[in-house]
């Protein structure tokens, strides 16, 4: 089975025969008559109509989980909330209820408050029977507000324990755990009466569902202080609380020991909860150790326990371990259910084996297990992230044809996929399809929209989407903060990403592995490996274990770092940590290592990395090939770089702008300007529009050869095609004049810039003029003569004067 994951290795030419070169002088007419027409400019992403459509589709506001004060994300209220409707039966307004008690069927309300209270059990039972748990909740809140424990009340009476327990039972049966948490958070009922363990366990679970972990922990301690003995269900709920809260492995171990001391035997929920907690924190070894200890104690794991272990391996992309779990389940006659197959699909796609994940769907159907929306969405999301959009759409059609209705997660995956490719028209169609199927956008949909704004120059859109998101009633959660950190990082705004992180801590959200990885991603783009190392240290100090992604980002950060010694040392250390924790390097990691070796001219190690890619059963992607081309371009082997470019096309892949720019750079550095022009023509014929980097590469190539007439052609061509020269463009030209000892021409060139390029900033112009003058002054001081290539040496009194006219 494993052999299917190792595609045939394509031949990669390393020793090539260069084409015969002529010694004719190279001339490049950089104008529309000698170059093919420019491809159309890529249109800006039309986020405005998408956002307006999303606002229109968004459902009424959802109750915010986090009600902390937030100075960065100002809370937005909405008049559509139904809380606080006037209550005609009670003088005191029930501010947190959702309905009133205006119901003619409740005859005993006419008896007045006293009669009503006397029949409270009957009232609650009647309301529940009628399906009006909301009205039962309103009645219960009124009773709490008017009980003897209330400081301001219009009538006073004791709340019977049975009433409280009944209300908890009613809401628990209806699945209204957020309502339970809200009521028992606002009113400290535990001080007023002693509830039984079952009711308190339900309240604990409700706090867990509402992410009020500290509240749950305090209540659990109070239970034991009051002499109540937690049962197995109570302990299981608390294990889940600590698992969701994170950084609590020691607390989980303490609870397990406490359970053993109480003589409680672990059940499926106990085991699966502990293993799931390991999965959230990336504690692979801890999960393996715990599972092994269970089997050593003759515990026979069930499907739920195996599924939780599958999830741990799946999150780490360890598909071989996941397959071993499946094999063990089959050997132990443990039935594989829908969740088992879903976890196996997730393990495959996270390891990069998308087709194998899709094949599991066929296996499920053959074995009579019907795939659900999670199954299809997992593969659709994987296809979208690896750029296989058509396969994603084909699977979506198959999903609908099979009768499986896409859910909001499915639509979010499709929207994210289309957003990455700027396919806005299709995104509008997906939003309309959501409306047709009655699927309302959720917070993740908005987070997806935020993520789509994470491109350079779109940081203002990030702020706008965030405001509109809150305006529709979706308060930021931890995933929102993580998305913002990632978006600002991709926009190149490292400082803003850090500010969002600080704001996240301030409003009460604990960072998780995803948070730290988002910060590392922002730092990796800048190559700030020292700051990234401090993030890793902070992770470890707070009980987190860096994941495979963490180490991968560290390697990427080192690959962009400027300090050779520090980067190489850090990279080797990160790779060792990766191997020590059992992670298998993926293509991203190999590409990062290949990049740092290539940039620092350690070519033997770079080739070794290439061989490791193939030996690991992986196939080089476009990033790999671009890195190799850059390596050859840096060493002057420009023909080898172009051969790799051709090899990419032979493999059926499409080179990108970086690919062509790299080959052009290789030719320009060798002075082969006609070959560079040929590659440029090929690039534009393939629909790829040159960028400022492309033009600056040509400017540098011509300037290095003293071909300033061609340099001027390039500048004219840039302006004509709406790619305005930048500071680097003009500085390269000035440096070229000065290296050619044409100092006067350099000053004249600076003085004439505004005549051809009126958009060039005055401040930059003055900076450029200062740079040119500094060159002149340096030469005059060094040689003591007027710096002109054809001039004879003179005394310092003949120093060249530079006036304001020289800068226009």
Mean pLDDT of 444-467: 76
Residue 408: both structure tokens together? 């909001």
pLDDT value of residue 653 = 83
Q: Which residue has the higher pLDDT, 583 or 600?
A: 600
Does position 808 have pLDDT exceeding 80, yes or no? no
CA quadruple 21, 22, 25, 31: dihedral, nearest 10: -60
Transcribe 61-102 into DSSP letters: PPPPS--S--SSS-----TT--TT---SS-SS--TT-SS---
Does position 131 have pLDDT exceeding 80, yes or no? no
pLDDT value of residue 803 = 37
Rounded to whole angstroms, the Cα distance separating 578 from 536 reads: 13
Does position 9 have pLDDT exceeding 70, yes or no? no
Transcribe 109-144 into DSSP letters: GGGHHHHHHHTHHHHHHHHHHTT-HHHHHHHHHHHH
Mean pLDDT of 642-650: 91
Nearest to 588 by CA among 644, 536, 539, 550: 550
Most confident of 235-249, 253-267, 476-490: 253-267
Rounded to whole angstroms, the Cα distance separating 106 from 244 reads: 42
Q: Report the SS3 class of residue 551.
A: helix
- Report the share of the chain in percent with pLDDT over 90: 22
pLDDT level of residue 147 (50, 70, 90 thresholds): low
Express each pLDDT in 601-636 by its tens digit: 788 888 888 888 888 888 888 889 999 999 889 888
Minimum mean pLDDT range among 8-22, 457-471, 776-790: 8-22
pLDDT value of residue 642 = 93
Q: Which residue has the tokens 């020269």?
A: 725
Q: What are phi and psi of 23, to 5 degrees?
A: -100, 15
pLDDT level of residue 782 (50, 70, 90 thresholds): low
Express each pLDDT in 555-565 by its tens digit: 777 767 655 55
Q: Report the SS3 class of residue 164.
A: helix
Could you tell me the CA-to-CA distances from 791 to 37, 217, 371, 742 in Å, in that order?
44, 86, 84, 11
pLDDT value of residue 797 = 38
Mean pLDDT of 413-417: 89
pLDDT value of residue 258 = 93
Q: What is the DSSP letter of 562?
A: S
Rounded to whole angstroms, the Cα distance separating 206 from 338 reads: 27
pLDDT level of residue 698 (50, 70, 90 thresholds): very high
Mean pLDDT of 104-120: 45
For the stretch 187-207, what's the b/e string if a residue is b when 16 or more beta carbons lie within 10 angstroms of its beta carbon? bebbebbebeeebbbbbbbbb
Q: What is the DSSP letter of 442?
A: -
Mean pLDDT of 643-666: 91
Does position 211 have pLDDT exceeding 60, yes or no? yes
Mean pLDDT of 305-316: 88
Does position 756 have pLDDT exceeding 70, yes or no? yes
pTM: 0.57
pLDDT value of residue 377 = 94
Cβ atoms of residues 376 and 407 within 8 Å: no
pLDDT value of residue 143 = 66
Q: Which residue has the higher pLDDT, 605 or 64?
A: 605
Does position 407 have pLDDT exceeding 80, yes or no? yes
Rg (CA), the chain: 34
Residues contacting 176, CB < 8 A, separation 6+: 133, 137
Please, what sign has the CA dihedral across residues 509, 510, 513, 515? Answer: positive
The H helix count followed by the E strand count for the chain is 39, 0
Mean pLDDT of 6-19: 39
- Report the share of the chain in percent with pLDDT over 70: 71
pLDDT level of residue 273 (50, 70, 90 thresholds): very high
pLDDT value of residue 578 = 67
Mean pLDDT of 224-229: 86
Cβ atoms of residues 444 and 479 within 8 Å: yes
Name the average pLDDT for the chain.
76
Q: Report the SS3 class of residue 454.
A: coil
For Cα atoms 408, 411, 417, give the angle at the middle one, nearest 5 degrees: 140
pLDDT value of residue 34 = 54
Q: Report the SS3 class of residue 21.
A: coil
Rounded to whole angstroms, the Cα distance separating 526 from 717 reads: 31
Q: What are phi and psi of 175, to 5 degrees?
A: 75, 20
Q: Which residue has the higher pLDDT, 315 or 517?
A: 517
Q: What are phi and psi of 660, to 5 degrees?
A: -65, -40
pLDDT value of residue 760 = 85
Q: What are phi and psi of 66, to 5 degrees?
A: -110, 115
Burial of 291 (0-12, 13-18, 19+ CB in 10 A): buried
Rounded to whole angstroms, the Cα distance separating 301 from 583 reads: 26
Farthest CA pair distance, the chain: 117
pLDDT level of residue 491 (50, 70, 90 thresholds): confident
- A 10 A CB-CB count for 326 gives 18
């Amino acid at each position: 089975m494993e052999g299917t994951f190792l595609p045939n290795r394509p031949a990669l030419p390393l020793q090539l025969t260069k084409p015969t070169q002529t010694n004719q002088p190279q001339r490049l007419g950089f104008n529309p008559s000698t170059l093919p027409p420019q491809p159309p400019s890529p249109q800006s992403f039309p986020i405005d109509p998408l956002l307006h459509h999303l606002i229109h589709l968004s459902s009424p506001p959802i109750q915010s989980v986090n009600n902390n004060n937030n100075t960065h994300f100002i809370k937005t209220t909405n008049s559509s909330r139904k809380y606080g409707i006037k209550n005609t039966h009670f003088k005191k307004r029930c501010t947190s209820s959702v309905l009133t008690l205006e119901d003619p069927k409740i005859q005993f309300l006419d008896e007045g408050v006293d009669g009503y209270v006397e029949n409270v059990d009957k009232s609650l039972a009647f309301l529940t029977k009628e399906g009006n748990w909301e009205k039962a909740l309103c009645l219960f809140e009124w009773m709490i507000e008017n009980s003897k424990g209330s400081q301001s009340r219009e009538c006073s009476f004791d709340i019977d324990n049975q009433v409280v327990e009944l209300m908890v039972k009613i809401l628990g049966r209806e699945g209204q755990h957020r309502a339970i948490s809200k009521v028992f958070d606002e009113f400290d009922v535990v001080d007023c009466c002693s509830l039984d363990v079952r009711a308190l366990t339900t309240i604990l679970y409700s706090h867990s569902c509402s992410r009020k972990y500290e509240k749950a922990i305090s209540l659990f301690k109070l239970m034991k202080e009051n002499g109540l003995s937690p049962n197995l269900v109570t302990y299981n709920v608390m294990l889940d609380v600590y698992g969701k809260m994170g950084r609590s492995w020691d607390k989980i171990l303490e609870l397990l020991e406490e359970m053993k001391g109480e003589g409680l035997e672990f059940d499926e929920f106990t085991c699966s909860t502990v293993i799931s907690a390991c999965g959230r924190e990336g504690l692979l070894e801890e999960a393996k150790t715990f599972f092994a200890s269970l089997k050593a104690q003759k515990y026979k794991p069930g499907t739920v326990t195996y599924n939780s272990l599958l999830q741990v391996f799946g999150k780490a992309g360890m598909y071989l371990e996941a397959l071993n779990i499946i094999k063990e389940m089959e050997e132990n006659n443990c039935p594989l259910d829908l969740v088992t197959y879903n976890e196996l699909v997730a393990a495959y796609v996270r390891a990069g084996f998308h087709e194998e994940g899709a094949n599991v769907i066929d296996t499920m159907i053959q074995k009579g297990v019907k795939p659900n929306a999670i199954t299809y969405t997992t593969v659709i999301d994987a296809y979208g992230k690896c750029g296989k959009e058509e396969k994603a759409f084909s699977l979506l059609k198959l999903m609908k044809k099979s009768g499986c209705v896409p859910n909001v997660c499915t639509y979010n995956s499709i929207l994210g996929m289309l957003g990455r490719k700027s396919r806005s028209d299709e995104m509008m169609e997906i939003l309309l399809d959501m409306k047709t199927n009655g699927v309302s956008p959720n917070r993740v949909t908005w987070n997806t929209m935020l993520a789509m704004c994470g491109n350079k120059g779109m940081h203002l859109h990030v702020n706008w989407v965030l405001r509109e998101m809150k305006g529709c009633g979706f308060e930021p959660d931890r995933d929102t903060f993580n998305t913002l950190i990632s978006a600002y990082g991709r926009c190149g705004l490292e400082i803003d990403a850090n500010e969002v992180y600080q704001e996240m801590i301030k409003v009460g959200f604990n960072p998780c592995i995803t948070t730290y990885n988002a910060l590392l991603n922002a730092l990796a783009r800048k190559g700030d490996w020292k700051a990234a190392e401090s993030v890793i240290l902070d992770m470890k100090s707070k009980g987190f274990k860096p994941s495979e992604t963490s180490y991968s980002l560290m390697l990427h950060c080192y690959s962009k770092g400027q300090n050779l010694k520090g980067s190489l040392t850090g990279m080797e250390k990160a790779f060792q940590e990766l191997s020590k924790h059992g992670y298998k390097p993926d293509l991203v990691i190999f590409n990062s290592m290949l990049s740092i070796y290539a940039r620092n001219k350690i070519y033997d190690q770079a080739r070794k990395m290439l061989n490791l890619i193939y030996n690991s059963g992986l196939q080089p992607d476009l990033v790999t090939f671009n890195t190799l081309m850059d390596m050859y371009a840096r060493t002057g082997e420009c023909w080898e770089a172009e051969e790799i470019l051709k090899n990419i096309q032979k493999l059926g892949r499409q080179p990108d702008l970086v690919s062509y720019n790299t080959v052009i750079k290789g030719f320009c550095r060798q002075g082969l300007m006609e070959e560079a022009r040929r590659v440029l023509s090929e690039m534009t014929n393939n629909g790829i529009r040159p960028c400022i980097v492309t033009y600056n590469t040509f400017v540098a190539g011509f300037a290095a050869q003293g071909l300033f007439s061609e340099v001027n052609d390039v500048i004219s061509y840039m302006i004509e095609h709406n790619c305005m020269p930048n500071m680097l463009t003009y500085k390269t030209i000035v440096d070229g004049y000065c290296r050619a000892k044409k100092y006067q021409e350099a000053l004249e060139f600076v003085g004439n810039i505004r005549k051809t390029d009126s958009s060039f900033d005055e401040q930059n112009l003055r900076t450029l003029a200062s740079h040119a003058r500094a060159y002149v002054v340096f030469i005059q001081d060094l040689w003591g003569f007027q710096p002109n290539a054809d001039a004879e040496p003179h005394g310092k009194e003949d120093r060249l004067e530079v006036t304001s006219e020289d800068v226009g």
